[in-house]
Amino acid sequence: MKFIRIFLTVFLLLAAAAPSFSQDTREQESRRSALEKEIAQLEQQIAENISRSSSALNDLTLIRKQVETRKALVAESERQIMMIDDSITLTTANIAGLQARIDTLTSYFGRLVRSAYKNRDARVWYVYILTSRNFGQATRRYSYLKNLSSTLNDEAAQVKEMRAGLELELTRLDSLKVQATQLRDAQQKELAGLRAEEKRSDDLVSQLKRYRTRYQRQLETKRKQVEDLNREIERIIAEYIAEQKAREEEQRRAAAARQGEQAAAEAPAPVVDYELAAEFESNKGKLPWPADGPVLEKFGRHNHPVYTNIVMPFSNGISIGLAKGSAVRAVFDGEVKNVIAMPGYNMCVLVQHGSYFTFYCKLGQVSVKAGDKVSTGSIIGTVDTIDGQTQLHFQIWKEKSPQNPEIWLRSK
């Protein structure tokens, strides 16, 4: 009986591990869904870009991002397949162990039944007790015969319980095998898609290299637009900071003139909303995205995707690929400080959050004006299509220092 108790303990532990496997599977499915959604978004943007523009560089940016996302999806599929294979191995071993225990328990149960059948006559029971060598043996034989019926019922229940457990494990094994087959089929399709996308990327690189002079002119235009935008944002923010400091100093002097030196020592009401700034800062890594789409250009300095010896202008923000006409939303409560138009970026909106600023560029329609209060999720405007690209350019600044938006926005 001891081995039965040990086995049941092990079986219960394995059963307890099942929710953990299910949780891991749900998390992996969630990651797969997010990656598949991003691939579909990129495919739509590539199709729209081809229909609107002959810019191979725009296509290359989208396709390379799609290749990157497809590789992540293939890797995620591989992780899922490995996890399911491990679970199949564990379940198969569990089934073999269950079957062995059932066979042993069935054999033991059979011996008990045969013994009970042989001793079904009460006279045999009396003789069995009376022929004991001593009183202790007689007591043990009496106890055995008395408990035989109960033992038979217990053993029958355990055999039934184990057979039910075996059926569950066999069903689970069949389900896991189906999942593994489906995932392998999906992975083969993903690999075929990846190979096709890599070929498209290589073909575009060859095209770009053939027309180097033309694309270099486009690059110089883009470089100038980026530098102009960076300078304009820096100028606007510096101007606001200077105005705020001047107003705070003016408030301090006015308070001193009205109430004397003692009142001057008291801090006047700040022009900058530092409480709002603290709230913004406390939400680092938790801010909502201004729009739903893949990041096509990251923060910082990068080399040209084709002419790798050429360094692109420093990007103070990120570019998010979007569907035509997508809504752009404020990432936090604040006040619209400025709405401007910039070459290559169309309409741009600057929102202040205390000592922090967010900047939304490449808008076609703007739904706000300077002085408007906005709340988290408020629509700022809709994205525009510029030179065949439908992208939102988004920046976050802390006073005069640009921040990496992906560090501030919540993980997808």
pLDDT score recorded for residue 37: 72
Q: Determine the pLDDT at residue 145.
A: 58
Query: What is the predicted pLDDT for the residue at 405?
Result: 97
pLDDT at 7 over 70: no
Q: Are 109 and 177 in contact (CB under 8 A)?
A: no
Q: What number is the average pLDDT over the span 105-109?
A: 65
Structure tokens at 243: 């105005």
Confidence category of residue 398, pLDDT binned at 50, 70, 90: very high
Backbone φ and ψ of 390, nearest 5°: -110, 95
Q: Where are the alpha helices (DSSP H) in 119-134?
A: 122-130
Q: Against a cut of 0.75, is the pTM above it?
A: no
Q: Show the domains of the chain with their CATH numbers.
A: 2-210 (no CATH), 213-408 (2.70.70.10)
What is the band of 21 on the pLDDT scale with cuts at 50, 70, 90?
low
What local confidence, expressed as pLDDT, does residue 14 receive? 46
DSSP output for 227-283 = HHHHHHHHHHHHHHHHHHHHHHHHHHHHHHHHHHHHHHHSPPPPSS-HHHHHHHHHT
Residue 310 has what DSSP assignment? Answer: S
* Residue the block writes with tokens 């486009």: 218
| Distance (Å, whole) CA 190 – CA 318 | 27
Letter for the amino acid at 77?
S
pLDDT attached to residue 130: 54
Q: How far apart are CA 92 and CA 173, in angstroms?
A: 7
Residue 331: closest CA among 318, 344, 345:
318
Per-residue model confidence as pLDDT tens digits over 333-365: 999 999 999 888 999 999 999 889 999 999 999
357 backbone dihedrals φ, ψ, rounded to 5°: -135, 140
- Mean pLDDT, residues 275-282: 84
Q: Is residue 4 over pLDDT 70?
A: no
Indicate the helix (H) or strand (E) that contains 341: strand 334-342
Q: How confident is the model at residue 1 (pLDDT cuts 50, 70, 90)?
A: very low
Number of H helices, E strands in the chain: 7, 11
CB neighbour class for 103 (10 Å; exposed up to 12, middle 13-18, buried from 19): exposed
Phi, psi of 4 (to 5 degrees): -70, -45
What pLDDT does residue 345 have? Answer: 92
Q: What is the pLDDT of residue 261?
A: 53
- Higher-pLDDT residue of 66, 358: 358
pLDDT for residue 381: 96
Residue pLDDT, tens place only, 297-343? 899 988 776 667 777 778 899 999 998 889 999 999 999 999 999 88
Surface-to-core class of residue 178, CB atoms within 10 Å of its CB (0-12 exposed, 13-18 middle, 19+ buried) = exposed
Average pLDDT over residues 38-58: 62
pLDDT digits (tens, 9 = 90+) for 141-181: 666 656 655 666 666 677 677 777 778 878 888 888 888 88
Query: Which pLDDT value is given to residue 6?
Result: 43
> What average pLDDT does the structure give for the chain?
77
Q: Which of 178-182, 270-274, 373-377, 404-408 has the lowest mean pLDDT?
A: 270-274
Residue 305 C-alpha from the chain's centroid: 27
Give the per-residue pLDDT at 52.
Answer: 46
User: Is the pLDDT assigned to residue 374 strictly greater than 80?
Assistant: yes
